[in-house]
């Protein structure tokens, strides 16, 4: 069989766009569908209450179980990505998620919703999360890793901006069953084939090196010598004895607390402030739109500045957004939160993923970032329940919002304390000729 793949991978002498950007585009679309459909859960809460004769608290159980299961799945998904490659993981995960989403349209009670959404969809969606997609991106990009991660994560913001209003429209015009059939069918008919055709786990699968260098033209051995970070290790367990992974995970736990609580309780808070559901949905759309732009700006800056400084700033900005919900009148607070919160909403994801890759390399990135993602989702699962209980007890979200702001300040301080210049490969010297790149051999096999 001929090995000439120049027409497919762009490895001929005249190269155009680096193939990694096509991989980003396919993963962007998958993230758009996966996160968009999950964020649309809140659209159907009131309808399920009426159709099944249950309470908001009961429906919230499915959401909380979903965050918990998704969190538990992250290290396993990450490990599978490290061992078998990201392409297999994201394709199989999106396929399962799509089929289960279609199956939700046939559910007739809360038990079916918990089973399909809380367990199957939530576990499978872990394979379309940065624990898998972020690993693929990190293996394709190094010099522009921050920007590439940001473009990927922007898919989630755009999903919130477009998919959630689309689901609301279909619900009003047709039914919630039709909405789930459409989004699941779209993912199965377009998302899965796109991943199969476009995505590759590593640039070596296309005859390329990271950032688009051609292996065949790089010296006698065909190996590009790269810096080796001081924290690069053979076994992922060895990374757990160092501080950065814990600093990143603790901060990401707080990120989960604050994003999950808003995702589930934002509309309920708005109603308690005499703000209509439509206005709340519009404000969340504004937040998502601002976030899509903010994530891209953060990604661009993160390739030039220390990522830990940007990460700390993002958490502190989000703390200000939470404070605005307490100190400002409701009609002003909702828009202040949309603007301030939008600047920081998903910006933590590309920064955390990129920092993890910079400090520990890509060999064990899936497993390590999987642990960080697990911390994020466990924080979210706890917050969904605790915020609901607090509102039931006090009739106000002021106390949980204040706690959220305090935890964000703590997360900002923890992030700023990371000694990035001592740990990151970005600040490590290029090794002498013949040095071993710890990530290369595993990346070639994955």
Rounded-to-integer distance, Cα 367 and Cα 114, Å: 27
User: Residues with Cβ < 8 Å from 47, sequence gap 6 or more?
Assistant: 171, 176
User: Residues with Cβ < 8 Å from 105, sequence gap 6 or more?
Assistant: 176, 177, 178, 180, 181, 184
The whole-number pLDDT of residue 45 equals 77
Q: What is the DSSP letter of 429?
A: P
Q: Which is nearest to 423 in space by CA: 362, 368, 365, 359?
A: 359
Rounded-to-integer distance, Cα 426 and Cα 422, Å: 10
The whole-number pLDDT of residue 154 equals 84
Rounded-to-integer distance, Cα 250 and Cα 414, Å: 8
How far is residue 44 CA from its own chain's centroid? 23
Whether residue 321 contacts residue 260, with contact meaning beta carbons closer than 8 Å, is answered with no
Please name the residue ranges forming H helices in 206-345: 243-272, 277-302, 307-327, 330-342
Q: Which residue has the tokens 């585009």?
A: 25
Q: What is the DSSP letter of 205?
A: G
Please give the average pLDDT of every successive group of 10 residues along the chain, which has 446 residues.
Answer: 40 65 94 84 80 82 87 87 90 96 94 94 89 87 84 83 83 91 94 95 85 54 55 72 88 92 83 82 83 85 89 95 94 94 84 85 77 87 84 87 96 94 76 48 43
CATH number of 19-202+228-425: 1.20.1250.20
- Which two tokens mark 205? 């699968």
Q: What is the pTM of this model?
A: 0.75
The whole-number pLDDT of residue 227 equals 62
Rounded-to-integer distance, Cα 398 and Cα 395, Å: 9
The whole-number pLDDT of residue 229 equals 57
State how far the alpha carbon of 368 is from the alpha carbons of 67, 378, 419, in Å: 19, 16, 18
In the chain, domain spans: 19-202+228-425
């Amino acid at each position: 069989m001929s090995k000439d793949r120049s027409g497919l991978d762009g490895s001929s002498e005249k190269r155009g766009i680096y193939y990694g950007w096509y991989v980003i585009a396919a993963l962007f679309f998958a993230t758009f569908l996966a996160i968009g459909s999950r964020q649309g859960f809140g659209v159907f809460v009131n309808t399920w209450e009426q159709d099944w004769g249950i309470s908001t608290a009961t429906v919230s159980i499915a959401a909380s179980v979903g965050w918990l299961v998704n969190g538990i799945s992250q290290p396993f998904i990450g490990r599978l990505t490290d061992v078998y490659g990201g392409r297999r993981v994201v394709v199989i995960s999106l396929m399962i998620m799509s089929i289960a989403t279609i199956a939700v349209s046939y559910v007739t009670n809360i038990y079916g919703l918990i089973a399909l959404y809380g367990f199957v969809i939530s576990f499978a969606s872990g394979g379309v999360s940065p624990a898998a997609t972020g690993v693929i991106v990190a293996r394709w990009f190094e010099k522009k890793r921050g920007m590439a991660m940001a473009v990927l994560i922007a898919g989630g913001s755009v999903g919130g901006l477009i998919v959630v209003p689309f689901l609301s429209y279909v619900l009003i015009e047709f039914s919630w069953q039709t909405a789930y059939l459409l989004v699941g069918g779209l993912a199965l008919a377009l998302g899965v084939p796109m991943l199969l055709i476009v995505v590759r786990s590593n640039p070596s699968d296309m005859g390329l090196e990271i950032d688009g260098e051609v292996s065949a033209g790089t010296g006698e051995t065909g190996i590009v010598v790269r810096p080796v970070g001081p924290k690069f290790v053979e076994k992922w367990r060895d990374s757990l004895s160092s501080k950065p992974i814990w600093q990143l995970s603790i901060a990401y736990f707080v990120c989960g607390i604050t994003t999950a609580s808003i995702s589930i309780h934002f509309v309920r808070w708005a109603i308690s402030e005499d703000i209509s559901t439509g206005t709340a949905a519009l404000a969340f759309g504004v937040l998502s739109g601002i976030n899509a732009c903010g994530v891209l700006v953060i990604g661009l800056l993160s390739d030039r500045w220390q990522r830990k400084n940007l990460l700390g700033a993002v958490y502190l900005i989000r703390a200000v957004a939470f404070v605005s919900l307490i100190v400002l009148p409701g009609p002003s607070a909702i828009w202040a939160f949309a603007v301030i919160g939008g600047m920081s909403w998903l910006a933590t994801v590309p920064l955390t993923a990129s920092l993890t890759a910079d400090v520990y390399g890509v060999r064990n990135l899936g497993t390590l970032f999987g642990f960080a993602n697990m911390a994020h989702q466990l924080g979210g699962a706890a917050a969904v329940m605790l915020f609901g209980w607090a509102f039931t007890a006090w009739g106000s979200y002021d106390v949980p919002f204040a706690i959220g702001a305090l935890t964000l300040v703590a997360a900002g301080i923890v992030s700023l304390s990371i000694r990035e210049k001592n740990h990151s490969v970005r600040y490590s010297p290029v090794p002498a000729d013949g040095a071993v790149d710890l990530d290369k051999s595993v990346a070639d096999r994955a």
